[in-house]
């Protein structure tokens, strides 16, 4: 558990620390026009590889694939630290993301291998807590490290921690021995990577230069062609990357849909709440960061608490419904943020949002794992992360589009609409006040959309079939897996389980 949690913390910290260091990196390497690729390259490869890690680990075993993911992450970290330019750094970040895409997915899949079904949510809640902790520790650690030693040390610090993770996983992780013939679906893997890559690049470029740009259109067409081709390929593949038959299982299909909606609402909120706090309520970066810890605290409490509750009762139906309701209520509360909103109101809304997210995430993974055969545990785990990340990408893009459209409609008496606090602070007082009001109104539209998505998630969570997790026969750490056997949710309860 220590090794797995450290591995997840390693990947989660990296994103938040690098975001803090971006201005310093640009000042050192130049290439401001390529800055976004330092973040996008990681997101692109991490998202595209998530499902592949799930399927490959089902075929080759969790332990060697997890070790390979850590190795890729550390190799990418080393190249990032040595990068001489922005293009090289973006390429190294892509390699780092290729490893990072497997850290959380494989850690959660390993839990499904070594922990009985009823206890999985308890342990998976810890991983949610680690992610919440990373969102707080990232800026706290990243800022001082950059100031004291330089941005390259953000990547070099990954190496000793990664070495500890490698040693612990290599020597301490017991896993079932799986004997299974395998034929990796390389065609499906290539089509999936191409479809996801084109989609994410289309989203990124559309936000930057406009959706009518010819290259944006080309990327959009590429995604629209490759995605159906991937679906067709999965019908004939002997070992498909994403078995389409899983979607005939209502629990699996609805869990993926809830993950997509929660990801869309969550990422949109995380992207725009700091902007509202700084540009509308005129709070410093430090003050807004402290207020965001309310969301993290709520996530930590509910994530650990719901894991223990589900493990104790074996029932999972209520937490996702309650969590999506809290997310929706929090989004509705955020629509009322304006320059006069009190800190207490804002903190309360953020706490509700964190509580809601923490109630949903661990349980979704446990339900997805419990609704499939043991041979598909990896892909079931990966699918939750994949759909959540995909929802986050779509939610962020829609949020940016809504915000930009409403700001443009505001017809502000300023030469250029900006979301940089220092540029807004340079405006005359009257222009600053007008901009704050316009930005608050524009952000309100984003939160209304997020609330609507949250309401859809409530309905989907309520429709998810109830499953008593204690009815799922779990493999014990020493068991051997033989093709043709199953430990799916439909399996009868044995006295031992």
Q: How many domains does the chain have?
A: 3
CA dihedral 394, 250, 48, 135 (to 10 degrees): 60
Q: What is the CATH number of the domain that holds 15?
A: 1.20.1250.20
Tally of residues, the chain:
497
> Cβ distance 272 to 398 under 8 Å?
no
> Cβ distance 97 to 43 under 8 Å?
yes
Q: Which residues pair with 480 in a beta bridge?
A: 177
Domain membership flag for residue 493: no
3: which 2 tokens? 């090794």
Closest CA to 353 of 218, 247, 450: 450
Residues 414 and 312 reside in one and the same domain: yes
Residues 208 and 253 reside in one and the same domain: no
- Which of these three, 174, 206, 224, is where a domain ends? 174
What pLDDT, on a 0 to 100 scale, did the predictor assign at position 295? 85
What pLDDT, on a 0 to 100 scale, did the predictor assign at position 482? 35
3-state secondary structure of 315: strand
Residues 265 and 232 reside in one and the same domain: no
Non-local (6+) Cβ contacts of 214 within 8 A are none
> Cβ distance 267 to 259 under 8 Å?
no
Domain membership flag for residue 478: no
What pLDDT, on a 0 to 100 scale, did the predictor assign at position 480? 37
3-state secondary structure of 360: helix
Q: How many CB atoms lie within 10 A of CB 212?
A: 8
Domain membership flag for residue 428: yes
Domain membership flag for residue 78: yes
What's the average model confidence in pLDDT over 99-122?
A: 81
Residues 16 and 135 reside in one and the same domain: yes
Give the tens place of pLDDT for each residue, 249-300: 888 899 999 999 998 888 777 778 877 887 888 777 667 777 878 888 888 8
What's the average model confidence in pLDDT over 420-426?
A: 59
Residues 218 and 307 reside in one and the same domain: no
Closest CA to 463 of 207, 253, 292, 209: 253
What's the rounded Cα separation, in Å, for the pair 495 and 222? 52
Mean pLDDT for the chain overall: 79
342 pLDDT more than 80 = yes
For the purposes of burial, counting CB atoms within 10 Å of the CB of 456, is it exposed (0-12), middle (13-18) or buried (19 or more)? middle
- Which of these three, 219, 238, 257, is where a domain ends? 238
86 pLDDT tier (thresholds 50, 70, 90):
confident
Domain membership flag for residue 480: no
Percent of the chain whose pLDDT exceeds 90: 17
With left for phi above 0 and alpha for psi between -120 and 50, is residue 282 left, alpha or beta? left
Domain membership flag for residue 219: yes
Residues 114 and 229 reside in one and the same domain: no
What's the rounded Cα separation, in Å, for the pair 414 and 104? 44
Residues 96 and 138 reside in one and the same domain: yes
Residues 226 and 324 reside in one and the same domain: no
Residues 84 and 132 reside in one and the same domain: yes
Residues 226 and 204 reside in one and the same domain: yes
What's the rounded Cα separation, in Å, for the pair 94 and 76? 8
122 pLDDT more than 90 = no
Domain membership flag for residue 221: yes
What pLDDT, on a 0 to 100 scale, did the predictor assign at position 328? 94
Domain containing 410 equals 243-473
DSSP 131-196: HHHHHHHHHHHHHHHHHHH-THHHHHTHHHHHHHHHHHHHHH----EE-------HHHHHHHHHHH
420 pLDDT tier (thresholds 50, 70, 90):
low
46: which 2 tokens? 């991490």
> Cβ distance 362 to 307 under 8 Å?
yes
Residues 209 and 153 reside in one and the same domain: no
Closest CA to 407 of 263, 272, 265: 272
What's the average model confidence in pLDDT over 406-433?
A: 61
- Which of these three, 203, 221, 238, is where a domain ends? 238
What pLDDT, on a 0 to 100 scale, did the predictor assign at position 417? 44
What pLDDT, on a 0 to 100 scale, did the predictor assign at position 486? 36
Percent of the chain whose pLDDT exceeds 70: 83
Mean pLDDT highest for which of 109-118, 129-138, 306-315, 452-461?
Answer: 452-461
90 pLDDT more than 90 = no
Domain membership flag for residue 60: yes
Residues 19 and 166 reside in one and the same domain: yes
């Amino acid at each position: 558990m220590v090794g797995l949690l450290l591995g997840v913390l390693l990947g989660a910290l990296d994103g938040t620390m690098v975001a803090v260091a971006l201005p310093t990196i640009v000042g050192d390497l130049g290439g401001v026009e390529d800055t976004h690729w330092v973040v996008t390259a990681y997101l692109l490869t991490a998202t595209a590889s998530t499902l592949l890690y799930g399927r490959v680990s089902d075929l080759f075993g969790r332990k060697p694939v997890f070790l390979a993911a850590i190795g890729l992450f550390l190799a990418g970290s080393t190249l990032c630290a040595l990068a001489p330019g922005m293009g090289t750094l973006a390429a190294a970040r892509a390699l780092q993301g290729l490893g990072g895409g497997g850290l959380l997915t494989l850690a959660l899949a390993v839990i499904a291998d070594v922990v009985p079904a009823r206890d999985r949510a308890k342990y998976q809640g810890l991983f949610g807590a680690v992610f919440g902790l990373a969102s707080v520790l990232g800026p706290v650690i990243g800022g001082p490290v950059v100031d004291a030693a330089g941005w390259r040390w953000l990547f070099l610090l990954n190496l000793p921690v990664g070495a500890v993770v490698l040693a612990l996983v290599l020597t301490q992780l017991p896993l079932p021995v799986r004997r299974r013939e395998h034929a990796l679906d390389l065609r499906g893997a290539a089509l999936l990577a191409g479809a996801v890559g084109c989609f994410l690049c289309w989203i990124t470029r559309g936000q930057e230069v406009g959706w009518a740009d010819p290259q944006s259109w080309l990327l959009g067409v590429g995604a629209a062609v490759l995605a159906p081709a991937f679906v067709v390929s999965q019908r004939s593949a002997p070992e498909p990357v994403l078995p389409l038959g899983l979607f005939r299982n209502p629990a699996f299909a609805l869990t993926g849909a809830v993950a997509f909606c929660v990801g869309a609402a969550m990422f949109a909120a995380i992207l725009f709440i700091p902007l509202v706090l700084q540009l509308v309520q005129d709070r410093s970066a430090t003050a807004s960061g402290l207020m965001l810890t309310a969301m993290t605290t709520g996530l930590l409490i509910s994530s650990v608490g719901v894991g223990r509750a589900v493990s104790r009762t074996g029932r999972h139906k209520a937490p996702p419904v309650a969590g999506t309701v809290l997310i929706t209520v929090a989004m509705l509360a955020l629509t009322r943020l304006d320059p006069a909103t009190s800190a207490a109101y804002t903190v309360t809304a953020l706490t509700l949002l964190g509580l809601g997210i923490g109630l949903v995430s661990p349980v979704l993974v446990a339900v997805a794992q419990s609704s499939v055969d043991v041979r598909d545990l990896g892909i079931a785990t990966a699918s939750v992360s994949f759909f959540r990340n995909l929802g986050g990408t779509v939610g962020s893009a829609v949020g940016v589009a809504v915000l930009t459209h409403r700001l443009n409609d505001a017809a502000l008496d300023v030469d250029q609409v900006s979301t940089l606090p220092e540029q807004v602070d340079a405006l005359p007082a009257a222009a600053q006040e007008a901009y704050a009001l316009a930005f608050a109104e524009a952000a309100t539209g984003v939160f209304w959309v997020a609330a609507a998505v949250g309401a859809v998630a409530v309905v989907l969570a309520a429709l998810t079939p109830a499953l008593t997790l204690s009815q799922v026969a779990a493999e014990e750490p020493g068991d051997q897996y033989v093709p043709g056997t199953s430990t799916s949710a439909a399996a009868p309860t044995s006295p031992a389980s």
